[in-house]
Chain A
């Protein structure tokens, strides 16, 4: 289940620091967005979601920001831990299009102890 892309952007973070992962989405009509985490050999794991009528949403140690003007999504992880090492994907969807998710290319996060 890994996304072993040779060209996968990598974010290297010191344990305890905050991480910011960015994503540019493609469809200005998309109305729902999700961040997923994918560890090696596993499927995408839901982290947090946000609807298009919001610009910020907070979860446990994670915050998602949505900027519809520039079609940009970000995921902030507070106090990054070794278990946060994974590939992170943003996904967008439009309810009128059968709820199909369109995934971004992913960012690999490496947490250094």
Chain B
């Protein structure tokens, strides 16, 4: 069964450094998403992406965050200057279409900011 893959599984970064989280969505999917889950809290939406554009973003997704689909297979989340509060699990998801389609998630990247 096709799946969403994320790398690395764990990223440790110094505060203030840039970090790039990588995702390979399911190959025939057209919609891509990033979510995060701070330990002990709910999964929170960050951003949705379709046709090389951001469709929707949350308040969390400020100027420090950006997303990119650099080629036909990868989807990346960049945090320019990390803060301690960015420590969380970051999940990538994709769906075949947009509305009324299940989003399929990767196993996440645990980001630890020191």
Contact = CB atoms under 8 A, between A and B. Distances in A.
A103 B42 contact: yes
B70 to A, nearest CB: 22
A43 B107 contact: yes
A33 B5 CA distance: 24
Interface string B8-41: 0000000000000000000000010101010111
A103 B43 contact: yes
A46 B4 CA distance: 12
Interface string A69-113: 000000000000000000001010001011111111110000000
Interface residues on B, range: 20 to 34
Contacts of B37: 1, 3
Interface in A39-55: 41-46, 49, 51
Contact of A43 (B48, B100, B106): B106
Given A1-B107, A100-B48, A95 B99 contact: yes
A44 B45 contact: no
B91 interface: yes
Interface in A5-44: 5-6, 31-32, 34, 36, 41-44
B87 interface: no
Contacts of B6: 43
A44 B55 CA distance: 22
Given A1-B89, A1-B91, A44-B91, A101 B103 contact: yes
Contacts of B91: 1, 43-44
A32 B45 CA distance: 16
Contacts of A32: 99-100
A106 B42 contact: yes
Contacts of B104: 46
Given A4-B39, A103-B42, A106-B42, A43 B56 contact: no
8 contacts: A3-B40, A31-B99, A42-B107, A46-B103, A97-B56, A99-B55, A101-B35, A103-B43
Interface of A: 1, 3-6, 31-32, 34, 36, 41-46, 49, 51, 89, 91, 95, 97-106
